[in-house]
Amino acid sequence: MKIICVGRNYVEHIEELDNAVPKAPVLFMKPDTAIVLKNQPFFIPEFSNEIHHEVEILVKINRIGKHIDRKFAHKYYDEIGLGIDFTARDLQSQLKEKGLPWEKAKGFDGSAVIGKFLPKSNFDDINNINFRLEKNDKVQQSGNTSLMLWKIDTLIEYISKYFTLKIGDVIFTGTPSGVAKVTSNDTLTGFVENTKLFSIKIK
């Protein structure tokens, strides 16, 4: 499996990091070693002093596809999930300043939380899904898929121009505003509507 991530897909998050609004989806990838193992905590890596959480709606691909037309994109997934893209923000800033790739800041071991998935049929409209991240029982990030610059089906069409999508691949669709530093003993809990899809401890 591969993890394909979308950056800068919510305007308020773009603004909070003082980035430019892109003209096309920003894509990057995480290796499968980025996935936090089930029931394991997230360990803050020694190479960063500023790990940020980024909660994101996830889409799990259920069939092989290349050059997928947007009108057929809905056939390529039947589950919606929630996860965290952990980012070494200090390292990312250094890499961006030098015009270098972000992989070390985005794809390090343990940088991806993949929570439970729900049937797509649970939702009346995938472009109107509420989700949130609570840090120590207080809401830290909240968003709705209606606020995406590029909606899920558009992302699938765009991504499949460059990468063949395969069964089990996961797309991280971008994070809303509210990203913040994590510290030891924090607990991060993610909800889609009011269903809890993950909870993870920071060590």
Where do the domains of the chain lie?
3-201
Q: Give the separation between CA 84 and CA 3, rounded to whole angstroms.
A: 12
Q: What is the DSSP letter of 47?
A: T
Place of tokens 């961006």: 96
Q: What percent of the chain clears pLDDT 70, i.e. is strictly above it?
A: 98
pTM, full prediction: 0.96
Residue range 3-201 forms a domain whose CATH class is alpha beta
Q: For all residues of the chain together, what is the average pLDDT?
A: 95
Task: Indicate whether 12 pLDDT > 80.
Answer: no
3-state secondary structure 74-140: HHHEEEEEEEEECEEHHHHHHHHHCCCCCHHHHCCCCCEEEEEEEEHHHCCCCCCCEEEEEECCEEE
Structure-block tokens of residue 129: 């899904």
Give me the pLDDT at residue 161, please.
Answer: 98
